[in-house]
Amino acid sequence: MVSRVKIRELSDVTGVTVATLKYYLREGLLHGGAATAVNQADYDESHVRRVRLVRALLQLGRLSIADAQLVLAAVDDDSIAIHDAFAVAQDAMVPARDRSGPQYAAALDEVVAFVRRHRLQVRPDAHVLEMLADAVVTMDDLGFSDALGTPRLASFDGLLEMALPIAEFEVASTRDDITRAEQMEYTVIGTITFEVAYAALRRMALEHASAIRFGSRRKPRRTD
Amino acid sequence: MVSRVKIRELSDVTGVTVATLKYYLREGLLHGGAATAVNQADYDESHVRRVRLVRALLQLGRLSIADAQLVLAAVDDDSIAIHDAFAVAQDAMVPARDRSGPQYAAALDEVVAFVRRHRLQVRPDAHVLEMLADAVVTMDDLGFSDALGTPRLASFDGLLEMALPIAEFEVASTRDDITRAEQMEYTVIGTITFEVAYAALRRMALEHASAIRFGSRRKPRRTD
């Protein structure tokens, strides 16, 4: 537990340089410490935690500063109901990009139909729909769907069926004995960390499957 | 099908600006067209396809220029066996970052033990191990594992069990009647697009589960 330390020690504890901490302060990503003198302030456990959250958003989640500010505002604003704050945070976690053109519009229609068919309680204007449409456009561009020899929507059905019980378990595991801000933090961190973790596990599975099909076909090493 | 077009038309077909195409050419991400006069060249279907692949790497995959160059070199170099090329591409798809310090080393040890325990044929120095360790460090930093009330490794076991059959199916679906370069392209695009697609589907599942737990509990709209 950290109580009332200088910025130098906050840097030591979090592994984030003093220059970067000052940048976080200037950008409003980190709340100020308790002023003790001109240009002197004390920081506490809340700052340690926030620095780690900011780092997770920027590095692991690769959010822009502007999007990280949106997420943190939703975490901090007690007047926003938790489910609405969740929506703000989810939207900010989808990178902005040019999504004009008929090809993108068709992909988005396909995604909207998918959401309806599964009767998902997802906002019709949720940015995550655009994220899935991005993937669909790229699959179409490169003829990937055909190559896989299976209808794309069938594989999306299968992936969603896997994701739903995990999401339900994850949301159900949210503890009730923590503050709203902590609940929001967990939601954001859970979204980002499990996304990276699952992507990594899937890539490991791909390398394993590729080794078996294209590699030297050596036996896996025994681990005893 | 596009045959022998000017850069202006290549831009129209792909939706990538001429300035960006010239940038791709300068960076070696796109091979030159057939020269027809000073500062004039013709482009063909191979250029259309490559532009789309580059855009997928940079935008959807969010790779750096340097990492995209590595991936494309592995796609293009016929002298690299396909499984080795796959490894180069996979490594380039993991973002570089500072991974010093004892906390990270401990997380990496945990990941290596996980790979051994599952007897995965994943290279011991594969960058994807670092990617999973990144997620583990952030989970530890923010006390996420405890909050979820379930051991982290147990959830990783479950996620890997889901990923393995999908990866096997995906790798098994790689057609034999296409060129090595095409096989590599599919591998790279498959990794990126399905990763984004699955992440989007998981986020939809989270929003759905959150709506049921924290939202207005309205019935999903009927779709008939």
Q: What pLDDT sits at residue A153?
A: 66
Residue A45 CA from chain centroid, whole number: 24
Contact A122, B204 (CB under 8 A): yes
Q: Is the pLDDT of residue B221 over 60?
A: no
B94 and B170 in a single domain? The answer is yes
B103 and B175 in a single domain? The answer is yes
Q: Which residue of B has its CA nearest to A207?
A: B122
Q: What pLDDT sits at residue B217?
A: 45
Q: Which residue of A has its CA nearest to B98?
A: A59
A186 and A93 in a single domain? The answer is yes
Q: Is the pLDDT of residue B224 over 60?
A: no
Contact B210, A122 (CB under 8 A): no
Q: Is A66 on the interface with B (CB under 8 A)?
A: no
What digits encode the pLDDT tens for the residues B100-137?
888 899 999 999 999 999 999 999 999 999 999 999 99
B56 and B89 in a single domain? The answer is no
Q: What pLDDT sits at residue A38?
A: 80
Q: Is the pLDDT of residue B9 over 90?
A: yes
The ipTM assigned to this model is 0.86
Quick check: is A202 in a domain? yes
| Closest of A183, A135, A201 to residue B134, by C-alpha | A201
Contact A72, A170 (CB under 8 A): no
| Closest of B160, B161, B221, B216 to residue A199, by C-alpha | B160
Residue B167 to residue B143: CA distance in whole angstroms: 31
How many other CB atoms are found less than 10 A from the CB of residue A126?
A: 20
Question: Could A207 and B60 be called an inter-chain contact, meaning their C-beta atoms sit closer than 8 Å?
Answer: no
Residue B136 to residue B153: CA distance in whole angstroms: 10
Residue type present at position A151: P
Q: Is the pLDDT of residue B58 over 60?
A: yes
Q: What pLDDT sits at residue A181?
A: 83
Quick check: is A74 in a domain? no
Q: What pLDDT sits at residue A2?
A: 67
Q: Is B59 on the interface with A (CB under 8 A)?
A: yes
Contact B87, B80 (CB under 8 A): no
Residue B17 to residue B10: CA distance in whole angstroms: 9
Indicate the SS3 state at residue B103. helix
Pairing between strand B40-42 and B34-37? antiparallel
| Smallest Cα distance from B89 to chain A, Å | 11
Quick check: is B204 in a domain? yes
Contact A203, B131 (CB under 8 A): yes
Question: Could A142 and B97 be called an inter-chain contact, meaning their C-beta atoms sit closer than 8 Å?
Answer: no
B96 and B204 in a single domain? The answer is yes
Q: Is A63 on the interface with B (CB under 8 A)?
A: no
Residue A27 to residue B126: CA distance in whole angstroms: 36
What residues of A are in contact with residue B119 (Cβ under 8 Å)?
220-221, 223
A104 and A207 in a single domain? The answer is yes
What residues of A are in contact with residue B199 (Cβ under 8 Å)?
131, 195, 198-199
Quick check: is B200 in a domain? yes
What digits encode the pLDDT tens for the residues A122-134?
999 999 999 999 9
B55 and B98 in a single domain? The answer is no
Question: Could A210 and B128 be called an inter-chain contact, meaning their C-beta atoms sit closer than 8 Å?
Answer: no
Q: What pLDDT sits at residue B216?
A: 60
B27 and B101 in a single domain? The answer is no
pTM of the model: 0.85
Q: How many CB pairs under 8 A join A and B?
A: 310
Nearest CB neighbour to B223, from listed A49, A117, A166: A117
Q: Where are the beta strands (DSSP E) in chain A?
A: 34-37, 40-42
Q: How many domains does chain A have?
A: 2
For chain B positions 90-149, those within 8 Å of chain A (CB to CB) are 90, 93, 95, 97, 101, 115-117, 119-123, 126, 128-129, 131-132, 134-136, 138-139, 141-142, 144, 147-149
B173 and B93 in a single domain? The answer is yes
Question: Could B52 and A142 be called an inter-chain contact, meaning their C-beta atoms sit closer than 8 Å?
Answer: yes
Contact A208, B122 (CB under 8 A): yes
Question: Could A204 and B163 be called an inter-chain contact, meaning their C-beta atoms sit closer than 8 Å?
Answer: yes
Which residue range is the domain that position B25 belongs to? 7-60
Secondary structure string (H, E, C) spanning A89-127: HHHHCCCCCCCCCHHHHHHHHHHHHHHHHCCCCCCCCCH
Quick check: is B76 in a domain? no
Q: Which residue of B has its CA nearest to A133?
A: B197
Quick check: is A102 in a domain? yes
B47 and B113 in a single domain? The answer is no
What digits encode the pLDDT tens for the residues A93-114?
898 888 988 889 999 999 999 9
Quick check: is B195 in a domain? yes
How many other CB atoms are found less than 10 A from the CB of residue A113?
A: 12
Task: Name the residue with higher pLDDT: B22 or B39.
Answer: B22
Residue A113 to residue A97: CA distance in whole angstroms: 22
Nearest CB neighbour to A97, from listed B59, B195, B201: B59
Q: Is the pLDDT of residue A220 over 80?
A: no
A122 and A209 in a single domain? The answer is yes
| Smallest Cα distance from A79 to chain B, Å | 15
| A99: its two tokens | 């999504």
Nearest CB neighbour to B141, from listed A52, A174, A202: A52
Quick check: is B142 in a domain? yes
What digits encode the pLDDT tens for the residues A120-176?
999 999 999 999 999 999 888 887 665 444 556 677 888 898 889 888 888 887 777
B38 and B91 in a single domain? The answer is no
Residue B48 to residue B3: CA distance in whole angstroms: 10
Residue A220 CA from chain centroid, whole number: 33
Task: Name the residue with higher pLDDT: A30 or B165.
Answer: A30
The phi, psi pair for B41, rounded to 5°, reads -150, 155
The phi, psi pair for A34, rounded to 5°, reads -80, 120
Question: Could A214 and B126 be called an inter-chain contact, meaning their C-beta atoms sit closer than 8 Å?
Answer: no
